[in-house]
Structure 1
Amino acid sequence: RQSRMNHSIVTEFIILGLSRNPELQGVLFVIFLFIYLVAFLGNMLIVVAIIYNTTLHTPMYVFLLAPAIVDIICTTSIIPKMLWTTLTSEEIISYGGCMSQLFFFTWSLGAEMVLFTTMAYDRYVAICFPLRCTTIMNHHMCVALLSIVMAIAVTSSLVHMGLILKLTFCGPTIGHFLCETPPLLALSCSPVRVNELMVYVADDILAVGDFILTFISYGFIIAAILKIRTAEGKKKAFSTCSSHLIVVSLYYSPVIYTYIHPATSYTFDKDKVVAALYTIVTPTLNLIVYSFQNKEMQVGIKLLLLHISH
Structure 2
Amino acid sequence: MYTMVLKMYWTNNTSDFILLGFPIFISKTLFSFLIILLFLMINLLQNMIVIIITRIDYQLQKPMYFFISNLAFVDILFGAIILPNVMILILSHRNTVSFLGCMMQMYFFLAIGVTESFLLAVMSYDRYVAICNPLKYTGTMTSNVCLFLAIGCWTGGFLSVILPVIVISQMKYCSHVINHFFCEISPVLQLSCQDIHWLQISFTILASVVIFGTFPIIGMSYLKILLNILGLQLLNSKKKTFSTCATHLIVVFLYYSTITFMYIRPKSESNLELDKRVSIFYSVVNPVVNPLIYCLRNNEIKKSLRKCLRCT
Between the two proteins, what is the percent identity of the paired residues? 32
Paired residue for 1:58, among 57, 62, 76?
62
Number of the residue aligned with 1:4: none
Q: How far is the alpha carbon of 1:41 from its aligned partner?
A: 0.8
Please state how far the C-alpha of 1:77 moved relative to its aligned partner: 0.5
- Tell me how far 1:102 sits from its aligned partner: 0.8
Deviation at 1:22, TM superposition (A): 4.7
**Is the aligned partner of 1:71 residue 2:75?**
yes
Q: Is the 8 A contact 2:204 2:264 kept in 1?
A: yes
Structural RMSD (CA)? 2.3
2:168 is aligned, of 143, 164, 170, to: 164
2:134 aligned with 1:130: yes
Contact kept, 8 Å, 1:124 with 1:218, in 2: the verdict is yes
Corresponding residue number in structure 2 for 1:13: 17
Question: Is 1:226 aligned with 2:226?
Answer: no
CA distance in 2, matches of 1:238, 1:118: 18
In structure 1, runs of 5+ residues without a counterpart are 1-7
Give TM-score, length-normalised by structure 1: 0.88
Residue number in structure 1 paired with 2:280: 276
Name structure 2 gaps, 5 residues minimum: 1-11
Q: Pick the aligned partner of 1:118 from 110, 118, 122.
A: 122
| CA shift for structure 1 position 277 | 1.2
1:83 matches 2:91: no
- In the TM superposition, residue 268 of structure 1 has moved relative to its aligned partner by 1.8
Is 1:33 the equivalent of 2:37?
yes
- For residues 53 and 122 of structure 1, the distance between their equivalents in structure 2, rounded to whole angstroms, comes to 20
Take 1:291 and 1:32, find their aligned partners in 2: how far apart are those partners?
23
Letter in 2 for 1:245: L
CA distance in 1, matches of 2:246, 2:60: 24
Q: Give, in angstroms, the shift of residue 108 of structure 1.
A: 0.8
Aligned length, in residue pairs: 301
Q: TM-score, normalised by structure 2?
A: 0.88
CA spacing shift, 1:155–1:21, aligned 2, 3 Å: closer
Pick from 92, 98, 101 the counterpart of residue 102 of structure 2: 98
Hey, what's the Cα distance between the residues in 1 that align with 2:40 and 2:207? Answer: 27
Is the 8 Å Cα contact of residues 46 and 291 (structure 2) preserved in structure 1? yes
Larger mean CA deviation between 252-261 and 176-185 belongs to 252-261
Kept in 1: contact 2:127–2:245 (CA 8 A): no
Give the CA deviation at 1:295: 2.2
126-135 or 193-202, larger mean C-alpha shift: 193-202
Displacement of 1:140 in angstroms is 2.3
Aligned-pair CA distance for 1:88? 4.0
| SS class of match (1:131) | helix
Structure 1: how far apart are the matches of 2:209 and 2:26?
41
